């Protein structure tokens, strides 16, 4: 399906048990980070414990390059190559625990997200929408696109399920979240045929390192 439509759904990509374990881990990490920052055990500028200052989803716990998430990024590479039929290199993982009222605005992604996934870890259901017309949405200088009014394709994912999509081509979004919590990890890859290795590990020496170590 991916070869034809540039998106596909894998049900499941990981077992429900593994998804639940990773989700529980991430919930606990958010709790630990909350305590560390609140009690001033660590600087608010330290990113290894995640943060709440994401530009897309302000005040929502987010994490670039978490070691567990980037282990998933690496371990799912063979499955990603099988599903897409492409030779891929991993770039980075980014995870969030969404809260009630969050909205993921319509956007397209930066080059390191050429082949992307959203993997449902757990919590309340929150569908993602894809605009199948690649000509919809005009990127601005923040790699966010102007809005369109098309309804898009609604995709529901259960814990362990994964949507694979061309993040730089298709506008994607989520409407206002009505649940309490929803854990998602985004796993990003590049197609070697189009991008080569220039974005491998998103400009870091290897996976698991924070964004401040990027050289691009």
> What pLDDT does 177 receive?
97
Distance CA 176, CA 118 (A): 17
Residue 206: beta bridge partners?
none
Distance CA 135, CA 125 (A): 29
> What pLDDT does 160 receive?
98
- Look at the block and give the residue holding tokens 């990773």: 22
DSSP 59: T
CATH 2.60.120.620 fits 2-199, yes or no: yes
> What pLDDT does 144 receive?
46
The kind and range of the H/E element at 182 are: strand 181-191
pLDDT in tens, the chain (216 residues): 898 889 999 999 999 999 999 999 999 999 999 999 999 999 988 999 999 999 999 999 999 999 999 999 999 999 999 999 999 999 999 999 999 999 999 888 999 999 999 999 999 999 999 988 776 665 544 444 455 667 889 999 999 999 999 988 888 999 999 999 999 999 999 999 999 999 999 999 999 999 999 986
Query: Which of 112, 104, 155, 114 lies closest to 134 in space, CA to CA?
Result: 114
Residue 13 has a CB neighbour count (10 Å cut-off) of 23
CB 73 within 8 A of CB 22: no
The kind and range of the H/E element at 187 are: strand 181-191
CB 88 within 8 A of CB 188: no
> Which string of DSSP letters, residue by residue, matches 118-159?
EEEEEES---EEE---TTS--B-TTS-BPP-----EEE---T
- H-helix segments, the chain: 2-5, 16-38, 67-75, 77-84, 192-195
Its pTM stands at: 0.91
Phi-psi region of 49 (alpha: psi -120 to 50; beta: other; left: phi over 0): alpha
Distance CA 113, CA 124 (A): 25
Instruction: Report cis status (omega within 30 of 0) of the bond before 27.
Output: no
């Amino acid at each position: 399906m991916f070869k034809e439509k540039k998106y596909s759904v894998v049900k499941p990509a990981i077992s429900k048990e593994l998804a639940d374990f990773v989700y529980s881990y991430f919930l606990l990490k958010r709790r630990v980070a909350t305590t560390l920052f609140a009690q001033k055990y660590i600087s608010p500028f330290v990113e290894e414990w995640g943060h709440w200052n994401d530009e897309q989803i302000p005040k929502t716990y987010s994490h670039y390059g978490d070691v567990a998430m980037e282990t998933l990024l690496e371990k799912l590479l063979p499955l990603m190559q099988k599903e897409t039929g492409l030779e891929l290199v991993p770039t980075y993982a980014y995870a969030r625990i969404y809260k009630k009222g969050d909205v993921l605005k319509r956007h397209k992604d930066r080059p390191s997200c050429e082949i992307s996934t959203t993997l449902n870890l757990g919590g309340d259901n929150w569908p993602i929408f894809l605009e199948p017309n690649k000509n919809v949405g005009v990127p601005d200088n923040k790699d966010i696109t102007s809005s369109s009014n098309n309804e898009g394709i609604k995709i529901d994912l259960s814990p362990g399920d994964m949507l694979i999509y061309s993040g730089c081509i298709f506008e994607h979004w989520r409407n206002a979240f009505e649940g309490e919590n929803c854990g998602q990890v985004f796993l990003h890859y590049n197609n070697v045929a189009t991008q080569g290795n220039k974005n491998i590990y998103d400009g870091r020496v290897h996976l698991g390192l924070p964004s401040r170590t990027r050289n691009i």
